[in-house]
Amino acid sequence: MGMNALAQHLVAAPSSEDWLDVLADGLSEYGWLSVDARGFLGERLLATLCEEIRDLDRNDELRAARIGRGQDKTRDRSVRRDKIAWLQGETGAQAELCNAFEAIRTGLNQRLFLGLKRFEAHYATYHPGDFYRKHVDSFRGRASRVVSVVLYLNQHWQETDGGVLQVFNRDSDQEICGRVAPELGRMAVFMSEEIPHEVLPANRTRYSVACWFRQDEIPLPLSL
Ligand SMILES: O=C(O)CCC(=O)C(=O)O
Ligand SMILES: [Fe+2]
């Protein structure tokens, strides 16, 4: 690459600040958005995360996800069928992704004054036939999960692969207001208490990372 091409590339690269502005604007105006995160995270990190989750899946290191809280946690296959593994920043890629989530946390706090204190994140795998019925990620007034982020890790996702995230209107939850295909580098971002959403059955294994930014300080017991 010659100097000119390099200079152009640097100028054209979207700045993280601009990207964070897009997130904050979408959240404050609509309560949700779908955004291309490839520039923010980098193609190399995305490729490594894809490899990691495939390895975890292949080695059967993900566990059936549960619903509910605390003692009430149950495994209900009629509601959700994904398998998960909590991220603990133990690999280079996980540490890098956690840095990116941290940048989103502070970026949203600066722009929207949400008082996000920390985040929790897990890998998730939906095998063919798996789904997650319509739900919200947090119960109103608990101020626990405030912002949800889902990062998709599937190259060349086709319409026929299913597994679309359906987003519902925050004021009338029968009305679909968005559909997000889980394509590599795409991110869905939404207000955890407000936005009902569902994962339609996948016809092909569907990989993602889900992350929740929280207003409380007590760490979640990582005992799944
Ligand atoms: O994977 C997705 O698109 C959404 C997952 C989800 O809703 C959740 O884990 O709470
Ligand atoms: Fe959810």
How many angstroms is it from 121 CA to the middle of ligand 2?
A: 12
pLDDT at 153: 98
pLDDT at 2: 46
How many angstroms is it from 193 CA to the middle of ligand 2?
A: 10
List pLDDT tens digits, range 124-166: 999 999 999 999 998 776 668 999 999 999 999 999 999 999 9
Place of tokens 């009629």: 78
How many angstroms is it from 195 CA to the middle of ligand 2?
A: 9
8 Å CB contact between 14 and 39: yes
List pLDDT tens digits, range 55-70: 999 999 999 887 766 5
Q: Which SS3 state, helix, strand or coil, does residue 211 take?
A: strand
Average pLDDT over every residue of 45-49: 98
- Residue to mutate (ligand 1; options 66, 120, 180, 208; most atoms within 8 A of CB): 208
pLDDT at 69: 60
Give dist(CA 167, CA 180) in Å, integer.
8
pTM of the model: 0.90
E strands, the chain, are: 32-36, 63-64, 83-86, 118-126, 132-135, 145-152, 165-168, 176-180, 186-191, 197-199, 206-214
**All domains in the chain, ordered by first residue:** 15-214 (2.60.120.620)
Q: Which SS3 state, helix, strand or coil, does residue 169 take?
A: coil
Smallest CA separation from ligand 1 atom 9, residue:
210
List pLDDT tens digits, range 16-40: 999 999 999 999 999 999 999 999 9
- Residue to mutate (ligand 1; options 32, 199, 211; most atoms within 8 A of CB): 199
Instruction: Kindly report the average pLDDT of the chain as a whole number.
Output: 90
Is the dihedral angle over the CA atoms 155, 160, 162, 166 positive or is it negative?
positive
Please list, in sequence order, all residues whose beta carbon lies within 8 angstroms of the beta carbon of residue 120, skipping any fewer than 6 positions away: 86, 211, 212, 214, 220
List pLDDT tens digits, range 89-113: 889 999 999 999 999 999 999 999 9
